[in-house]
Structure 1
Amino acid sequence: MKTDDIRAKFLDFFGNKGHKIFPSDSLVPKDDPTVLFTSAGMNQFKPYFLGIRKDVKRACSCQKCLRTDDLEKVGKTPAHHTFFEMLGNFSFGDYFKEEAIIWAWEFVTAVLKISPEKIWISVYKDDKEAYEVWKEKVKFPEGRIVLLGEDKNFWPANALTQGPDGPCGPCSEIFYDWGEEFGCGRKDCSPACDCGRFVEVWNLVFTQYNRREKQGKPVLEPLPSKNIDTGMGLERMASVMQGVITNFEIDIFQPIVDEIYALCKNKTDKDRFHINAIADHVRAVTFAIGDGVYPSNEERGYVIRKIIRKASWHGYKLGIHEEFLYKIVPIVVEVMKTAYPELENKRENIAQIIKAEEERFHNTLDTGLEKIEGIIAEISSRKEKVIPGDKVFQLYDTYGFPYELTKEIAEERGIKVDEEGFKELLTYQKKRSQEKSHLKQEIFNASQIILNLSETEFIGYEQLELEEEVVEILDENLSTTVESLNKDQRGVLVFKRTPFYGESGGQVGDRGLIYNSDFKGEVYDTKLNEDRILHYIQVIKGTVKKGDRVKLEVDKEKRLDTARNHTATHLLHYALRKVLGEHVEQAGSYVWWEGFRFDFTHFRPVSEQELKWIEELVNLCVINNDPVKIRIIPFQQAKKENVLALFTEKYKDIVRVVEIGDYSKELCGGTHLKFTGEIGLFKIVSESAVASGIRRITAVTGRWAYNYIREEEEVLEELVAMLKTDRKKAGKQLRNILAKMKDLETELTKCKLQQLDSVADELLQNAEQIKGIKYIWKRIDDDPKILGHIVDKIREKGKNNTAVVLFTVRDDKLNLLLGLTSDFVEKGVDGREIIKKISTLIKGGGGGRKDFIQAGGRDYSRIQEVKEVIKQEIISKLR
């Protein structure tokens, strides 16, 4: 059975059981600070588990997931992945264990037609209810039911004894038995054994308890509403249904594996570990980039960068030393497009981003090799034989340098690595990552104070003033309710209705005033939290109490300026796609009253000419004064109309479409103008890189654009006055001055070069004599090119037994040149090896020929040590 068929049959089965079928959520969880990536099917249903949303009681989905906890295992084992799909059915206070178990059994045996004799079941040791359902209702043989502890059959694992506090419960797992020939041979072999014979295909979690500490001891209290959360690994079930022992042989993996074999050429099954890992990693980054995560040095972007570099390193081990991962993207898209058709339009952009990151990694490899050489030199100088674990981990974690490569290079030099120390740090990092991703009670419960409030109705599209009653007052940290706020105190006011826009969708919250005859408060921020709009205020006068009637007044000027900028982002998006191409997609934005920034996908800098065209196109839209129309329509209709949507956003069934003229249609909940002419003026301030394949434009509109241009004009007026000319001639006059300066610099360089003989002679006369060697050490603060000429002249005049080191310090950076006469090289001295010895001292590195090397570093505080190390290295080489 094909993987696509398993996916479809699962959703159909539970759809017919009264479950609403949800599409996969993005790999980027929205408004969820507990996880970097969507790592389980239940993530998108947290509002239902929390009771925030109650419109659905039963749900099912096939969810894209990404986990990196077992990154080192990927490719080595049959079923570990970074990216995978999780099939799941969920109940929010509706059915419980009996239905969950019976339906799971029905699907596995009646729909998938897996032989019952090949199934084993595990149950939490104290969960008598689940055990009885399997035994009495399903009539499952007791001999194939295994009772396991909280480390195996409780969610979260070990939650009872170790925490975290919060919702938890026992689970029951369904295993497939591959047969005795795949096991350890022991008679008591069962799912409790890790020999590989049994593969877990479905986990049924029964969330029925709230775990908390009581008098220092863990207590499980029954939840008022019991939930079901199940997860079936699609790839694992496909391997079972297709009769292949590893997930990498199933129909959605094999074409990718075949493509990698073709790229590698002449590779055999001995290389399968590397090929499997590459296949997995390219799938992972293809989907992650498709969902708006781009390689960078922070959070999600850092994870994706690490996965790309890991895959690139596997290719390096296969003998591929050029960019190749991006070539695999088309086959990944082809294989997965039935379930995820949106990948098709993003294919080229994804490939370009991966290629750019591969190029960056190959440069990093060079830097990493330099770092390793420095570390090895430092260790050798201390006559040690082991690279400490923290150094190995730094190379791995900071520079993305594979552990295997560090080990390989070290062993070539007769040096070992502290593998245990490295693994300890790696384990510690994983533990911290897991701790961050646990759904702890204070996060899982979102803040019970907020959830207890009614949702706020936003009326700010139509009006900016309103009289309303204070429903609730919270402290500034949202940790407790308060009865009142007095003068100079800060806090949060909540209302049933408000004209204040709460920060969301990249637009800042409104500012303004809230007041009555006895009280006045300044609204310094407005935020949206679980559909509740929170007004952060500082009391200027009097006291405000719960139940008071007050007037809410939005700052009209700031709102209008913000609306100008928000409408301008839509025009900019249109112009970018028109000028640069349809591959451009919004990757984020931040809109406030003074201006905005707009991030978008594009794999090269935007040229000056392109920026001019983009700016001109936006201003033409402004001049045309096109109408800005708002429509409220079903999300599915918006998709049919190809309305642009931000892939990191999660949309409801009914959505708001902002339509400008006949050229721009986007889903957006922000505040906008009625006509584009109200923008007044649009001006691009800057364009820059944010991450691989992500560019950023900052811009201003209206009066802020006018002020910006006025300031630029003032600078121009000052320049014109200094040049004592008019505007039209200023450019030409400035170019003439710069040309004259360049001519003077050339003449100065010629003069210096003419003095080289005397400089070289003086340095040779004052050279330090060491065992027949002339050693010159001198700081000369000049252009490194001049220093290079001096070194060459000294080597020429010194003829034999001469070593010269010249250095300069500029902007706290060291630039150093080492020159050796040819007889040193003939005797086996290599200046490049000498520079490697000092790389850690100067926190840098260098390169060049054996007799002429240039080095640079960020630290010159140990320059005297550098002098002695170079001297001693030369002497030792000539012994």
Structure 2
Amino acid sequence: MDTNQIRKEFLLFFESKGHKVFPSDSLVPKDTTLLFTSAGMNQFKEYFLGIKKDVKRAASSQKCLRTQDLDKVGKTPYHHTFFEMLGNFSFGDYFKEEAISWAWEFLTRNLNLRKENLCVSVYEDDEEAYNLWKEKIGLPSEKIFKFGAKENFWPSNAPRDGPNGPCGPCSEIFFDWGKETGCKKPSCNPSCGCGRFVEVWNLVFTQFNRVGLNKLEPLPSKNIDTGMGLERISSVIQGKFTNFDIDIIKPLVEEIRKIVEKKDLGLIRAIADHLRAVVFAVGDGVYPSNQERGYVVRRILRRALWFSFNLGRKTPFLHQLVSLVAELMKEPYPEISSKQKIISQVILAEEEKFLENLERGKQLLFSQIEEICRKKEKIFPSSVVFKLYDTYGFPLELTSFILKEKGLKTEERELKALLEKQKETSRAKSKFEPTIFIEKKIPVDYSTEFLGYEKESLEVRIKAIVKGREILESYSSDEEVALILDKTVFYPASGGQLSDKGRIEKEGEEGFLFEVTNVEKVEEVILHIGFLKKGKLYKNAQALAFIDGRRRKALCRAHTSTHLLQAGLRKIIGSHIQQQGSLVDEDYLRFDFSHFKSLSQEELAKIEEEVNNYISQSLKVSFYYLPFLEAKKGGALAFFEEKYQDLVRVVEVEGVSKELCGGTHLTNTSQALVFTIISESSVSSGIRRIEAWVGEKAYKQLSWAKEKLKTISSLLKTQEEGLEEELARLLTFNKALNKEVYSLRKKILEEIEAKKFLNNYLEIKGIKAVIFESPYKNEKLLRDFLDILKKKTQDNFVFLGFIQDQEKIVLNITSTEDVFRKGISSKEICLEITKKLGGWAGGREDFAFGGAKAKEKVSLSKIKELFLEVIKDKL
């Protein structure tokens, strides 16, 4: 029976038992507390919590991604990063008896597994499950193993270790390969890790609520959560001792085996697994990057690339295997075939980036390793590990892998401190932190009704005054404070859109004026943050709230234009484009999106033209509410970082786009006036950013550009139409002029300076050292001059030249052939000098280069002093 048949059999079986069959959820879950879907139950969380109640029984085959056992992939028969989990679930409906009976029925009748090859484990205190297996199913007691909470409780060891909340015992079903496999010990049982017993199905009985150490209270509504690894049960049915030999994986393993030079089967299997994971992750919109999900995908892919590199493959090839993955998985996941081209392009771009980073980083890494080994030390500097990661994008895992191979370690605590410092530097800090609402449950009374879609002003009541962690009855200071209203017209910062600003005021003797400078939302509470300008605030005061209408219009122009931009990108560049973040400000927008390379000027011009076409067509913008799944089926785009309710707001631009969005918008595209792109740049690998102006700011930008064009044309004494041609002429002339200047400077060095420097050398034990600061700050010219000096001498010469500016100092060192044959390495000299300057170096034994950041000017005498210190140790 092939894997596709097993999947079908499972779903049909549980459908016949009254279960609703759900399609696999995306690898990107709705639950924002999770990076990836890692279990079948993830998509049913709201059913388990009792939030949704329309389904009592469910079944699915869920694609999953896990990295907890990344190091074991390829080394064991059954560990994976990407796999499918078959599962049946009960939400307060059936319990242990049905779960156990149906699992046994499916395995023995539908899959025809021999009962003699099956055994089970139960939690040691779960007599109910033990008796069901023994009496209902008829398993002999020697086939039922009792284990503790570590092995047979979910979460593992929950009674003792927590966390508090729903939990319960579990029962696992194992396939026994027989006494002739594994350790062959008479005492061997399912707890042995020898491989004889393979766990095929785990039945979790969620029946308790943990409230403290070993304190378990019965749940009023009990649930069933089961999981059976599809690849694992397939290996059993197909008689394969390893999952990597089943029908949907083996062809990929074999193809990789043909391509790589070395035949390490463990690494080949790991590459196959990792490629499957990346293909499905990219297919679900997660591109390799340096952040969150993207970082996980990059980490998995770069492990595969590193393994390929170790197996002798030095050029990109994984992207070529996407078609094979798509073919093997086309029956359950046809969407992979339709996305095959973009997935291949993303993987190719990452392969090329990885090889580039290896080349850039390996010189620094291996030169440092060489230096450490020469000194017979064992600790590798964590500052260099950090630099490799931060500057060259060299993965920490790969550095660790290489150091381990060389028998070296790094100071983990110091490295963690450097990484944390980097995070702190980039972490945005909020000026107003409503800690009181984050730390405890918000009273229902503090929730705020938002009415800002229809109105710009509103009569409101102050429900609470918040200062720091305190809720006040009144307030008269001029320091920043927050107000909670019963209802509001102020849109809080959300979904990338900045908040409204405005005022809240009351006239009369008890009047006041409160300026709203920012609005934030914490759960259902909207905080109006600002300053009291006059009067006194007090709880329950009635007032009028007014938003800044001009700002609101500018925000609407930017937000609707953001939707138009995404539509234009998807039309011009491709439907793989997905939003990765955004900022919506007054007539300004910043849009981050998934794409594997920079956009050309031609592409940007087409996108800008497309957006302006949408604006000029005066398209209607409409808003309506739909159930989440219905909206998604209707083609509405959802930003996967957002958490959506069951009922969602759809913003539709007539014939152009549909997006799930809670922001404020125009009612017609013509109100955006005009759109112009400011820049396109990289945020991180796989994530691009476009910045643009709209409306009044775009008009001002276009007017400014027009004036600049006139000014430049006037300066160059040409018409605007001929400006491009004139600039091209000037650039060509400038290039020729620079070439001539370079040649003249080289001639001056060769005919005048060379003699002066060669007559001014230091001599140390027969070695003559020419050390100088180049009069010209040009690295290529410095290298050429060193070659000139070397050609003008015979033996026993070392040459060190350097240039410096306000930011850095750069050194080049070379020597005559006889010098480095004596064991005097230019590379080692350069390494030690630049190390004393706090810098880096690389190169060969006869030629090396290095540099350091210039904290202050380094004198010629200082360089000579450092050289003498280093060279004396070599002679």
Q: Same fold (TM over 0.5)?
A: yes
Question: What is residue 579 of structure 1 aligned with on the other side?
Answer: 572
Given that 1:294 and 1:691 are in contact with CA atoms closer than 8 Å, whether structure 2 keeps it comes out as no
Equivalent positions of 1:328-367 (< 5 A) are 328-367=321-360
Is the contact between residue 383 and residue 415 of structure 2 (CA under 8 Å) also seen in structure 1? no
Match of 1:243 in 2: 239
Q: Show the counterpart of 1:87.
A: 86
The one of 790, 793, 800 aligned to 1:805 = 800
Which stretch of structure 1 is more off in the superposition, 615-624 or 102-111?
Answer: 102-111
* Aligned partners of 1:29 and 1:38 also within 8 Å: yes
Residue from 571, 584, 587 that aligns with 1:591: 584
The equivalences for 1:658-807 within 5 A come to 658-712=651-705, 745-746=738-739, 748-756=741-749, 757-780=751-774, 782=776, 783-807=778-802
SS of 1:180's equivalent in the other structure is: coil
Q: Secondary structure at the match of 2:241?
A: coil
What amino acid maps onto 2:341 in structure 1? E
3-state SS of paired residue (2:770): strand
Deviates more, 1:497-506 or 1:111-120: 497-506
Matches within 5 A, 1:67-216: 67-213=66-212
Q: 1:386 is matched with which residue?
A: 378
Q: In 2, Cα distance between the equivalents of 1:447 and 1:50? A: 22
Identity percentage of aligned residues: 46
Deviation at 1:129, TM superposition (A): 3.7
One-letter code aligned to 1:254: K
Shift of 1:307: 1.2
Match of 2:288 in 1: 295
Letter paired with 1:233: G
Q: Which amino acid aligns with 1:779?
A: E
SS at match of 2:792: helix
Residue 434 (structure 1) aligns with: none
1:502/1:533 contact within 8 Å kept: no
The structure-2 alpha-carbon separation of the partners of 1:736 and 1:275, relative to structure 1 and needing over 3 Å to count, comes to: closer
Go from structure 1 to structure 2 and tell me whether the alpha carbon gap of 1:98 and 1:507 turns closer, same or farther (over 3 Å shift).
Answer: farther
Q: State the Cα deviation string for residues 72-117 of structure 1 (Å, max 9, x = none).
A: 1100001111112223333444444444334433433344343333
SS in 2 for 1:596: strand
Q: Which moved more, 1:283-292 or 1:336-345?
A: 336-345
Structure 1 residues 636 and 44, CA, compared in 2 at 3 Å: closer, same or farther? Answer: closer
Partner Cα distance (1:702, 1:721) in 2: 29
* Residue number in structure 2 paired with 1:26: 26
Partner of 1:612: 605
Given that 1:486 and 1:539 are in contact with CA atoms closer than 8 Å, whether structure 2 keeps it comes out as no
Matched letter for residue 270 of structure 2 = A
Cα deviation for residue 485 of structure 1 reads 7.5
Counterpart-to-counterpart distance in 2, 1:2 and 1:666: 40
* Further displaced range: 678-687 or 169-178: 169-178
State the Cα distance separating 1:67 from its structure 2 match. 1.6
Residue 817 of structure 1, aligned match among 808, 812, 823: 812
Equivalent-residue separation in structure 2 for 1:309 and 1:787 (angstroms): 37
Task: State the shift of 1:377 in Å.
Answer: 3.6
Which one is further off, 744-753 or 726-735? 726-735
C-alpha distance in structure 1 between counterparts of 2:438 and 2:281, whole Å: 26
2:484 to 493, 501, 510: 493
What SS does structure 1 have at the residue aligned with 2:681? strand
Give me the TM-score of the superposition, normalised by structure 2.
0.84
C-alpha distance after superposition, 1:844-876 (max 9, x if no partner): 33336x544433444788999976776577677
Instruction: Work out the number of aligned pairs and report it.
Output: 842
Give the Cα separation in 2 of the matches to 1:149 and 1:743.
81
Deviates more, 1:244-253 or 1:276-285: 244-253
Instruction: Flag the 1:15–1:556 CA change in 2: closer, same or farther, 3 A.
Output: farther
- Paired AA for residue 843 in structure 2: G
Shift of 1:38: 2.4
1:202 is paired with a residue whose SS is: strand
| Equivalent position amino acid for 1:402 in 2 | L
> What SS does the corresponding residue of 1:672 show, helix, strand or coil?
coil
SS of 1:599's equivalent in the other structure is strand
- The 1-side partners of 2:399 and 2:94 are apart by 48
Contact 1:768-1:774 at 8 Å conserved across structures: yes
Between the aligned partners of 1:843 and 1:242, the Cα distance in structure 2 is 58
Residue 666 of structure 1 and its aligned partner are, at CA, apart by: 4.5
Residue 668 of structure 1 deviates from its aligned partner by 4.4
Mapped partners of 2:205, 2:519: distance in 1? 38
Give, in whole Å, the separation in 2 of the partners of 1:716 and 1:263. Answer: 56
The change in CA–CA distance for 1:514 and 1:788 in structure 2 (over 3 A counts) is same
Conserved in 2, the CA contact under 8 Å of 1:458 and 1:498?
A: yes
Distance 1:424 1:735 in 2: 52
Counterpart code for 2:573 = L
List runs of 5+ in structure 1 lacking aligned partners: 411-415, 430-444
Cα 1:343/1:498, change in 2 over 3 Å = farther
Amino acid at match of 1:37: F
> Which residue of the other structure, out of 846, 855, 858, is the alignment partner of 2:842?
846
Structure 1 residue 683, shift from structure 2 partner: 0.9
Instruction: For residues 681-711 of structure 1, give each alpha carbon's deviation from its aligned partner in whole angstroms, at most 9, with x where no partner exists.
Output: 1010110123333322111211232233345
Match of 2:3?
3
Decide whether the 8 Å contact of 2:564 with 2:614 is kept in 1: yes
Judge conservation of contact 2:367–2:842 (CA < 8 Å) in 1.
Answer: no
Paired with 1:579 and 1:342, the residues of 2 have a C-alpha distance of 21
Q: Which residue of 1 aligns with 2:45?
A: 46
Partner SS, residue 186 of structure 1? coil
Give the letter aligned to residue 449 of structure 1: K
Relative to structure 1, the CA distance from residue 748 to residue 595 in structure 2 (aligned partners, 3 Å threshold; closer, same or farther) is: same
1:279 aligned onto 2:272: yes
Q: Is the alpha carbon distance of 1:494 and 1:140 closer, same or farther for their aligned partners in structure 2, counting shifts above 3 Å? A: farther
Equivalent residue number for residue 428 of structure 2: none
TM-score (ref. length: structure 1): 0.84
SS of the counterpart of 1:191? Answer: coil
Does 1 or 2 have the higher relative contact order (CA < 8 Å, sep 6+)?
Answer: 1
